[in-house]
Amino acid sequence: MSLSELSPGTWTVDPAHSDVAFVARHLMVTKVRGRFTDVSGTVRVAEEFSDSTVTAAASVASVATGNDDRDAHLRSDDFFAADEFPEITFASTAVTPSSLTGDLTIKGVTKPVTFDLEFSGVAADPWGNTKAAFEARTIVNRKDWGLTWNAALEGGGVLVSDKVTLTLDIQLLKG
């Protein structure tokens, strides 16, 4: 089954079974992983699949990397400026069975991104709900969204990589 075989209608993101994550390099060698724990979204599957739409949001305050000091720094004006820009949003401009393209807005800056898309399937849960799942992945340059804070290292290089991998593992609930 491919994503284009989803039944038409509205599907909502199940935040308890979804993961919106990112990975950046630290000190040029280590991968630091994080996620947004408060996410929402809607997928509207149209009769003509290419007319389908995806909208999503993540609360910046919910950023979690496993380190309270780093999380506070990410919420600060050095990075996401959570007080002024409390949400990261996405609105699709094109949906195909293998890709998801749309406008990603971070810190008030909107840029187009394309995610590689892999459909995981449809299943019924024990309570009779229809669920579907997909994975999506892309690599972005954080500076494109004004996330420019960094520190030079004595031996060369920088503290935080410009490239950030975004990974979505999303479970949807048929509405």
Domain holding 55, by residue range, is: 3-174
Mean predicted confidence (pLDDT) in 159-173: 94
Please give, one letter per residue, the 3-state secondary structure of the chain.
CCHHHCCCEEEEECHHHCEEEEEEEECCCEEEEEEECCEEEEEEECCCHHHCEEEEEEEHHHEECCCHHHHHHHHCCCCCCCCCCCEEEEEEEEECCCEEEEEEEECCEEEEEEEEEEEEEEEECCCCCEEEEEEEEEEEEHHHHCCCCCCECCCCCECEEEEEEEEEEEEEEEC
d(C-alpha 163, C-alpha 149), whole Å: 13
* CATH classification at residue 101: 2.40.128.110
**What is the domain count for the chain?**
1
Q: What is the pLDDT of residues 95-151, one digit of tens each?
A: 998 999 999 999 999 999 999 999 999 999 999 999 999 999 999 999 999 999 988
Mean pLDDT over residues 165-171, rounded?
97
Q: Quick count: other Cβ atoms within 10 Å of Cβ 100?
A: 23
In this prediction, residue 5 carries a pLDDT of 72
Mean pLDDT, the chain, as a whole number? 93
Q: What does residue 150 show for φ and ψ, rounded to 5 degrees?
A: -165, 175
The overall pTM is greater than 0.75: yes
Asked whether the predicted pLDDT for residue 82 surpasses 70, the reply is: yes
Bridge-partner residues for 19, per DSSP? 169
Q: Which two tokens stand for residue 62?
A: 């919910």
